[in-house]
Amino acid sequence: MPKGKQKQRSVAETAGRIRQEDLVKALNHPVRVKALAILSERVASPTEISAEIGVPLSHVSYHVRVLDELEMIEIVGEEPVRGAVKHYYKAVQRPYLDTAEMEQLDSHVRSGMAAWTFEALIKSASEALSGGTFDARPEYHFSRTPLQLDEKGFQNVGEILRQALESIMEEQAASSERISAANGDSFPVVAAMFSFEVPKKPTA
Q: Is 36 within a domain? A: yes
pLDDT on residue 173: 86
pLDDT on residue 1: 42
pLDDT on residue 204: 64
Mean pLDDT across the stretch 140-156?
A: 94
- Provide the percentage of residues in the chain whose pLDDT is more than 90: 39
pTM of the model: 0.65
pLDDT on residue 97: 67
Mean pLDDT across the stretch 145-170?
A: 93
> Does residue 28 contact residue 65 with C-beta atoms inside 8 Å?
no
Q: Is residue 18 domain-shared with residue 85, that is, in the same domain?
A: yes
Q: Is residue 146 domain-shared with residue 84, that is, in the same domain?
A: no
Q: Is residue 83 domain-shared with residue 137, that is, in the same domain?
A: no
Query: How does residue 107 score in pLDDT terms, banded at 50, 70 and 90?
Result: confident
pLDDT on residue 64: 95
Q: Is 100 within a domain? A: no
Q: CATH no. for residue 74?
A: 1.10.10.10
What are the tens digits of pLDDT across the range 82-103? 878 899 999 886 666 667 777 7
Q: Is 127 within a domain? A: no
Q: Is residue 80 domain-shared with residue 143, that is, in the same domain?
A: no
Query: How does residue 6 score in pLDDT terms, banded at 50, 70 and 90?
Result: very low
Q: Is 142 within a domain? A: yes
Q: Is 19 within a domain? A: yes
Query: How does residue 40 score in pLDDT terms, banded at 50, 70 and 90?
Result: confident
Mean pLDDT across the stretch 153-168?
A: 92
Q: Is 3 within a domain? A: no
Q: Is residue 195 domain-shared with residue 137, that is, in the same domain?
A: yes
Measured distance CA(32)–CA(38) in Å, rounded: 10
Total domain count, the chain: 2
What domain range is 80 assigned to?
11-91
Average model confidence (pLDDT) for the chain?
A: 83
pLDDT on residue 7: 39
> Does residue 49 contact residue 34 with C-beta atoms inside 8 Å?
yes
Mean pLDDT across the stretch 144-172?
A: 93
The residue among 33, 66, 91 that closes a domain is 91
Side-chain-side CA neighbours of residue 172 (13 Å) = 15
Measured distance CA(20)–CA(84) in Å, rounded: 34
Buried b (16+ CB within 10 A) or exposed e, 149-180: eeeeeeeeeeeeeeeeeeeeeeeeeeeeeeee
Q: Is 116 within a domain? A: no
pLDDT on residue 151: 96
Per the model's pLDDT, the better-predicted residue between 72 and 108 turns out to be 72
Q: Is 192 within a domain? A: yes
pLDDT on residue 26: 79
